């Protein structure tokens, strides 16, 4: 699962943790979570502290802007892409496997926006095998 994170500059780790808890409540505890955002958030200490020891995968604003999701002109003016959380979640999920889909749409919790996407994994035993 990929969790996209957007936040106001200077956001606290507690605020980010609260938003991530909303994602956990929606999908349950996930063993393998990747966190993603826009390059402008690469050094945002509140985000980095909240997700530690995991890292934050960042992508250029232009790459996020190319992802077809609803966005905000205000966010676009601030960071160069109209969507951070949903676009980052979908873009990075697509890099990890086929058919990414949002499992938690853009959710705003205070100064933090989160979204989560998963990729569909196909079973090697499904389809053409005798067991069906």
Is position 125 within any domain? no
Let me know if 2 is exposed, middle or buried by CB neighbors in 10 A (0-12, 13-18, 19+).
buried
Name the average pLDDT for the chain.
88
Percent of the chain past pLDDT 70, that is, above it, reads 90
Query: How large is the average pLDDT for residues 54-76?
Result: 87
- DSSP 8-state code for residue 117: E
Say what the pTM is.
0.86
Is position 129 within any domain? no
Is position 87 within any domain? yes
The CATH number given to whatever domain includes residue 61 is 3.30.420.180
User: For residues 11 and 34, what is the distance between their CA atoms, to the nearest angstrom?
Assistant: 20
Range of the domain at 58: 2-118
Structure tokens at 125: 């035993």
Q: What total of structural domains would you count in the chain?
A: 1
């Amino acid at each position: 699962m990929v969790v996209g994170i957007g936040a106001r500059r200077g956001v606290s780790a507690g605020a980010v943790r609260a938003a991530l808890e909303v994602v956990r409540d929606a999908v349950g505890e996930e063993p393998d979570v990747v966190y993603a955002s826009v390059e402008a958030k690469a050094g945002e200490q509140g985000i980095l502290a909240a997700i530690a020891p995991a890292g934050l995968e960042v992508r250029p604003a232009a790459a996020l802007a190319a992802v077809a999701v609803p966005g905000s002109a205000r966010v676009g003016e601030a960071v160069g892409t109209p969507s951070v959380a949903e676009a980052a979640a979908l873009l990075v999920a697509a890099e990890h496997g086929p058919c990414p889909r949002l499992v938690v749409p853009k959710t705003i919790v205070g100064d933090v926006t989160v979204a989560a996407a998963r990729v569909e994994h196909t079973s090697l035993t499904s389809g053409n095998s005798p067991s069906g």
